[in-house]
């Protein structure tokens, strides 16, 4: 490999990809091209501890800044890639710099889905995706009194929890009939709805935002005839995979960059991993694009080992987490795959787990402040269990592994 390996994107998957290449004793050139000004950092804390001021910027870094130079990894920040030429095997940036590659790894991640509505250009309206986004939100929260979150997903609810604890008057606007409708069961939606309203959050369901009003800065969020006062707005209505440069290069894309179970794209010299990649999963018997740190880490590791000539399959059970107030929600699998559910623990003391079963087998677990149930739930995935016994806390969870 004369030209080396180029990694497009500088997030979690990129950091893991570069570290994996060196760990596997690859000695050629490695370049990471990232469009932000920071080294790769961890995104999950942004809407939680970093927004709350409990973490410094340095503490969000996946690796210390000096790691890249120490390992002869060239990290080029503030570098936005404009195109890939798969015939000449070159990457071109917006500043017209050209980088040759022998192998290419695309870890471009995703971006916030944006709203195009009247008044959306007003000051005080934010999206939360980057460190810089959160720095601006946090600075505005210091003088704000009323914060409106648009979108009742995990990120929006995490922001609502942080803002409520900071003393702001918080309203959440959700277009669906329940919060978290796209990602969890009605039972868990009700639980988190009650949690937030008990802490003082005003949740408005079945409301579509139609615009914003204000004099220079936002003052009202409009939902048809309804208006919500706000001097800061955080929009969290989902994310979109960054696949445009891959599409323009002629790579196969379909809700992400299409890869095989080795992380390889439709071009044999190009691999992709993380939020931007659509991959097959033998364990789940479907293709999917996952927006999670565990996926980015493991997929990037497997892809880079295979890029160097390995033969590893990427197939793992998805897992996620969300911190809201003093509660940690940990999830494995997809609750929508279940046909019945079993509650283990006590919701009234905020320590319980919901096991989701299909044909008597565990297909998902949602655990609130119950890390033991979550960890064992990962091991129970796909195993047959007696639902009646699973609900009995006098029976040790470990016994179901036998």
- Which band of pLDDT confidence, cut at 50, 70 and 90, is reported for residue 2? low
Residue 203 has pLDDT above 80, yes or no: yes
Residue 1 has pLDDT above 50, yes or no: no
Buried b (16+ CB within 10 A) or exposed e, 184-201: bbeebbebbbebbeeeeb
Residue 18 has pLDDT above 60, yes or no: yes
Whether 156 and 230 map to the same domain: the answer is: yes
Range of the structural domain that residue 362 is part of: 326-401
CA dist list (Å): 234 to 44, 225, 227, 237: 16, 21, 16, 10
292-341 residue pLDDT tens: 999 999 999 999 999 999 999 999 999 999 999 999 999 999 999 999 99
Query: Does a structural domain hold residue 262?
Result: yes
Lowest mean pLDDT among 1-10, 117-126, 155-164, 207-216: 1-10
Reference 33, options 65, 12, 6; nearest CA is 6
Whether 72 and 214 map to the same domain: the answer is: no
Q: What is the mean pLDDT of residues 143-150?
A: 97
Cβ-in-10-Å burial (0-12, 13-18, 19+) of 90 comes to middle
Whether 104 and 132 map to the same domain: the answer is: no
Whether 151 and 294 map to the same domain: the answer is: no
Whether 344 and 292 map to the same domain: the answer is: no
Q: What is the mean pLDDT of residues 169-175?
A: 98
Residue 397 has pLDDT above 80, yes or no: yes
Query: Does a structural domain hold residue 116?
Result: no
pLDDT at 3: 87
* Total count of domains within the chain: 3
At which of 201, 235, 269 does a domain end? 235
CATH number at residue 389: 3.30.390.30
Query: Does a structural domain hold residue 313?
Result: no
Query: Does a structural domain hold residue 320?
Result: no
Whether 129 and 231 map to the same domain: the answer is: yes
307-317 residue pLDDT tens: 999 999 999 99
Given a contact cutoff of 8 angstroms between Cβ atoms, the answer to whether 332 and 318 are in contact is yes
32-87 residue pLDDT tens: 999 999 999 999 999 999 999 999 999 999 999 999 999 999 999 999 999 999 99
Residue 402 has pLDDT above 80, yes or no: no
Query: Does a structural domain hold residue 117?
Result: no
At which of 235, 251, 273 does a domain end? 235
Query: Does a structural domain hold residue 208?
Result: yes
Q: What is the pTM of this model?
A: 0.95
What order do you get walking across the sheet with 217-223 strand by strand? 211-215, 217-223, 226-229
Residue 288 has pLDDT above 60, yes or no: yes
Query: Does a structural domain hold residue 255?
Result: yes
CATH number at residue 276: 3.50.50.60
Q: What is the CA radius of gyration of the chain?
A: 22
Whether 248 and 104 map to the same domain: the answer is: yes
Whether 207 and 351 map to the same domain: the answer is: no
At which of 183, 215, 235 does a domain end? 235
Q: What is the mean pLDDT of residues 180-186?
A: 94
Which pairing describes strands 277-281 and 270-272: parallel, antiparallel, or unpaired? Answer: unpaired
Whether 281 and 370 map to the same domain: the answer is: no
| Residue 195 three-state SS | helix
Whether 284 and 333 map to the same domain: the answer is: no
CA dist list (Å): 30 to 41, 62, 72, 200, 257: 18, 17, 8, 50, 22
Percent of the chain with pLDDT over 90: 96
205-263 residue pLDDT tens: 999 999 999 999 999 999 988 899 999 999 999 999 999 999 999 999 999 999 999 99
Structure-block tokens of residue 271:
């691999």
Query: Does a structural domain hold residue 319?
Result: no
Whether 264 and 215 map to the same domain: the answer is: no
Whether 259 and 228 map to the same domain: the answer is: no
3-state SS of 236-274 is CCCEEECCHHHHHCCCCECCCEECCCCCECCCCCEEECC
CA atoms within 13 A on the CB side of 398: 1
């Amino acid at each position: 490999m004369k030209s080396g390996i180029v990694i497009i994107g500088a997030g979690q998957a990129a950091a893991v990809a570069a570290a994996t290449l060196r760990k596997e004793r690859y000695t050629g050139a490695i370049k990471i091209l990232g469009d932000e000004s920071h080294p790769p950092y961890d995104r999950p804390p942004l809407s939680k501890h970093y927004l709350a001021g409990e973490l410094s910027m340095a503490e969000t870094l996946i690796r210390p800044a000096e790691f890249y130079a120490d390992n002869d990894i060239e990290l080029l920040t503030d570098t936005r890639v404009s195109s890939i030429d798969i015939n000449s095997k070159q990457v071109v940036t917006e500043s017209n710099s050209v980088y040759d590659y022998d192998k290419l790894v695309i870890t471009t991640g995703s971006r916030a889905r944006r709203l195009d509505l009247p008044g959306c250009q007003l000051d005080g309206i934010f999206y939360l995706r980057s460190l810089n986004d959160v720095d601006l939100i946090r600075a505005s929260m210091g003088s704000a009194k009323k914060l409106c979150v648009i979108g009742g997903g995990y990120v929006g609810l995490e922001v609502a929890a942080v803002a409520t604890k900071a003393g702001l008057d918080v309203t959440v606007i959700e277009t669906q009939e329940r919060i978290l409708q796209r990602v969890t069961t009605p039972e868990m939606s009700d639980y988190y709805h009650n949690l937030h309203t008990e802490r003082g959050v005003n949740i408005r369901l079945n409301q579509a935002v139609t615009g914003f009003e204000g004099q220079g800065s936002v003052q009202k969020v409009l939902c048809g005839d309804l208006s919500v006062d706000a001097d800061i707005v955080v929009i969290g209505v989902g994310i979109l995979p960054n696949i445009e440069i891959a599409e323009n290069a002629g790579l196969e894309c379909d809700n992400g960059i299409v890869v095989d179970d080795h992380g390889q794209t439709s071009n044999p010299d190009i691999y992709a991993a993380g939020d931007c990649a659509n991959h097959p999963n033998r364990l789940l018997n479907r293709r999917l694009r996952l927006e999670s740190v565990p996926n980015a880490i493991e997929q990037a590791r497997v892809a880079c080992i295979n890029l160097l000539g390995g033969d590893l399959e990427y197939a793992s059970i998805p897992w996620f987490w969300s911190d809201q107030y003093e509660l940690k929600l940990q999830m494995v699998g997809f609750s929508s795959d279940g046909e019945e559910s079993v509650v283990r623990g006590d919701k009234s003391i905020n320590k319980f787990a919901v096991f989701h079963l299909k044909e008597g087998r565990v297909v998902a677990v949602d655990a609130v402040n119950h890390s033991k149930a979550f960890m064992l739930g990962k091991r129970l995935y796909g195993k047959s269990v007696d639902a009646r016994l699973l609900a009995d806390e006098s029976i040790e969870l470990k016994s179901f592994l036998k």
